[in-house]
Chains A and B, each alone.
Chain A
Amino acid sequence: MRELKITPIRNGTVIDHITNGLAFEVLRILGPRQLGRDSTISVAVHVRSGKLGWKDIVKVENIELTPRTVNAIALIAPTATISIIHDFRVREKRTVDLPAKIVGVLRCPNANCISNQPEPLESEFDVVARRPTVLACAFCERRVDEFLTHLA
């Protein structure tokens, strides 16, 4: 386990194989200010990786990610893997898979889209292509292939 430059966690989530340089975007998605008092986040940037060359890792203690958070990570870092840790053991390890619909994660880049108005609705995108990912707004049909700047 040579990649473990930061200490193992007892309970929580490890987000590994993040595209190098995107750890801070993942942090932004996690919203560190909203974490509970028992949560500590550790970040490792520019870690050697057999698969990717270089990668980032984010570890969050005592938190399991919501589907919405996982979807957001899947959008900006499709190579990421997510491991759920219970008592220092990996309980579950999976890649981030985009569902067919992405709800409440992105803002539509079309300023004139109804989803950017004060209406009782959540933003919604359909996945129209994978590798690379292309989404289409479920309301105005605008296509989006760049996600960092549109995170809600």
Chain B
Amino acid sequence: MSLRGRDLVSIRDLSREEITAVLDAARRMIPLAEGRKSGAQLRGRIVAMAFFEPSTRTRLSFESAVQRLGGSCITIADAGATSIRKGESLYDTIRMLTSYADAIVLRHPKEGAARLAARASDRPVINAGDGAGQHPTQTLLDLATIRERFGTLSGLRVVLFGDLKFGRTVHSLAYALALFGSELILSGPEGLRLPAEHRAELAQQGAKVREEPDAAAAIREADVLYVTRIQKERFPDEAEYRRVAGTYRIDAKSLEGAKKEMIVMHPLPRVGEIAPEVDATPHAAYFRQSFLAVPVRMALLAAILAGGRGGD
């Protein structure tokens, strides 16, 4: 079981054991991610950051991960400045990048772009988000956050709250949590429920899933409250967006009935779903979550490029 030389397009590309191995390695990467130790697993390696869609935290955390391990990056951060604008296909762009870099991290607005890139490239491709499709490293860092706090990914009650229809992070996360045997409770606005296709898949997987339309009731029994951003760009018009967005917001009051050890997570950026006052409560885990992006991505890059277990 080695990730060396492998692509990571979807979280489904990894077995439960492989996910666990990456999370273990990520834990050992934390002192390096904090800059307290230095790593060298990627020395002499170049990783291409091919970002065809705006992204701050994903790109910067990948760049930080590469550099913390002694590697270097070449970056496309603005697709408008590349020959894509001249009509070059993604396929050709990826072929070109394979001769400049040892691995490619891709963010692209079209679903399936990472699968295409993986076929075009003889170097490993890591999907950093393709449209409304997959974002497997986000799922890994979400799992790392939960596991760091609870020491396990099994037997927890995880409330997925908010935009379950368009939020790509929740689809992969739901799959992975079900893989580890946690219970999923779905809550949020009526029009943004989990699509039937995903529900059917979870059912097929044997997942424990149920709906709890009453947010307060869901929060009371949660070990993890995973809040997602309502994606404005997915709505047909502004008025509809505002109507739905206004219906849910987590503040200190809404957490009053929560278990003491319950954590609130969010893939960030938030736009009003979580009030800033929640930051000061012991429940807030979203900034830790965004920090863990670095050690998780370090562990993954080390495993794929150096075959290392990372941090050893």
Binding site for B on A (CB under 8 A): 108, 110, 112-115, 117-121, 137-143
Q: How far is the CA of A120 from the CA of B93 in the complex (A)?
A: 12
Q: Given A112-B131, A112-B132, are A141 and B112 neighbors across the interface (CB < 8 Å)? A: yes
Distance between B193 CB and nearest chain A CB, rounded to angstroms: 17
Inter-chain contacts of A140 with B (CB < 8 A): 110-112, 115, 130-131, 133
B91 close to A121 (CB less than 8 A): yes
Contact B91 A113 (CB under 8 A): no
A82 to B199, CA, bound (A): 38
Query: Chain A nearest CB: distance from B176 CB in Å?
Result: 15
Residues of A close to B197: CB separation below 8 A: 143
A115, A117, A120, A141 interface centre (most CB from chain B within 10 Å): A141
The smallest beta-carbon distance between B21 and chain A, in angstroms, is: 24
Q: A112-B111, A141-B10, A142-B111 are in contact. Are A120 and B132 (CB under 8 A)?
A: no
Q: In the assembled complex, which residues on chain B have CB atoms less than 8 Å from the CB atom of A118? A: 89
Nearest chain A CB to B203 CB, angstrom units? 14
Please, what's the 1-or-0 string for B123-148, where 1 marks a CB less than 8 Å from any CB in chain A? 00000001111100000000000000
Q: How many residues of B contact A (CB 8 A)?
A: 20
Q: Which of B10, B133, B197 has the most CB of A within 10 A?
A: B133
User: By the criterion CB–CB under 8 Å, are A114 and B10 in contact?
Assistant: no
User: B90 at the A/B interface (Cβ < 8 Å)?
Assistant: yes
Q: A119-B89, A121-B91 are in contact. Are A139 and B131 (CB under 8 A)?
A: no
Are B110 and A112 touching (Cβ within 8 A)?
Answer: yes
Give, as a whole number of angstroms, the nearest-CB distance from B13 to chain A. Answer: 12
* Residues of chain B contacted by A120 (CB below 8 angstroms): 89, 91-92
Majority SS of interface residues in chain B? mixed
Give Cα A121–Cα B10 distance, bound, in whole angstroms: 20
Expressed in whole angstroms, the Cα–Cα distance for A113 and B111 within the complex equals 5
Q: Could you name 26 residue pairs across A and B whose Cβ atoms are closer than 8 Å?
A: A112-B110, A114-B108, A114-B110, A114-B112, A114-B113, A114-B115, A114-B116, A114-B130, A115-B112, A115-B116, A119-B89, A119-B90, A120-B91, A121-B119, A138-B115, A139-B111, A139-B112, A139-B115, A140-B110, A140-B112, A140-B131, A140-B133, A141-B112, A141-B134, A142-B111, A143-B197
Which residues of B sit under 8 angstroms from A117, Cβ to Cβ?
A: 89-90, 110
Residues of B within 8 A of A141 (CB): 10, 111-112, 133-134
A59, B132: Cα distance in complex, Å: 44
Q: With contacts A140-B133, A141-B133, A143-B197 known, is A113 near B89, CB below 8 A?
A: no
- A113 contacts across to B, CB distance below 8 A: 110-112
CB under 8 Å from chain A, chain B span 86-122? 89-92, 108-113, 115-116, 119
Q: List the 10 closest A-B pairs by CB distance, nearest first.
A: A139-B112, A140-B111, A140-B112, A114-B112, A114-B110, A114-B113, A139-B115, A119-B89, A114-B116, A113-B112
Chain A residues with Cβ below 8 Å from B116 are: 114-115, 119, 121, 139
Report Cα–Cα, A117/B109, bound state, in Å: 12
Residue ID in chain B nearest A118 by CB atoms: B89
Distance between B194 CB and nearest chain A CB, rounded to angstroms = 15
Residue of A nearest to B111 (CB): A140
B158 to chain A minimum Cβ distance, whole angstroms, is 23
Which residues from chain B contact A142 at a C-beta distance below 8 Å? 111
Q: Specify which of B91, B108, B134 lies most central, judged by the most chain A CB atoms within 10 Å of its CB.
A: B91
- In the bound complex, residues from chain A placing their C-beta under 8 Å from that of B91 are 119-121
Knowing that A117-B89, A139-B116 touch, tell me 18 more A-B residue pairs with CB under 8 angstroms: A110-B111, A112-B110, A112-B132, A113-B112, A117-B90, A120-B92, A121-B116, A121-B119, A139-B111, A139-B112, A140-B111, A140-B112, A140-B130, A140-B131, A140-B133, A141-B10, A141-B112, A142-B111
